[in-house]
């Protein structure tokens, strides 16, 4: 039976995982936005109207991808779909993931 320290370790491991994937996603968004801004030949007036909707799509990607990947990883960690030697096993022995 897991102790409260194991639960804290499990949650903190997934929080760190989420933050790392979110940092990667937002770096990807930043690179794409720089390419879109400096590689575009559109007038400035058209770009101002697109900024609000572009930010919404950036947010969907920047927060949605990490949320989706974290949920998939948590589901695979807690289920028996994958063999134990392939599962990430967050919170087992360490607060990060362990491999057997």
pLDDT exceeds 90 at position 11: no
Range of the domain at 32: 4-78
- Number of structural domains (the chain) is 1
Residue 27 pLDDT class (50, 70, 90 cuts) = very high
Centroid of chain to Cα 58:
13
Region 24-51: mean pLDDT is 80
Per the confidence metrics, is the pTM higher than 0.85?
A: no
- Let me know if residue 91 belongs to a domain: no
- Let me know if residue 74 belongs to a domain: yes
Reduce the DSSP state of residue 90 to 3 states and report it. Answer: strand
Q: How many CB atoms lie within 10 A of CB 17?
A: 19
- Let me know if residue 89 belongs to a domain: no
């Amino acid at each position: 039976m897991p102790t409260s320290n194991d639960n804290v370790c499990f949650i903190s491991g997934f929080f760190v995982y989420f933050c790392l994937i979110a940092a990667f996603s937002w770096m990807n968004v930043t690179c794409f936005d720089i390419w879109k801004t400096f590689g575009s030949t559109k007038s400035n007036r058209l770009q101002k109207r697109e900024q609000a909707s572009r930010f919404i799509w950036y947010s969907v990607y920047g927060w949605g991808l990490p949320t989706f990947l974290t949920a998939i990883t948590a589901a695979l960690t807690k289920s028996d779909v994958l063999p134990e030697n392939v599962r990430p096993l967050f919170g087992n022995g360490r607060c990060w993931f362990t491999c057997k």
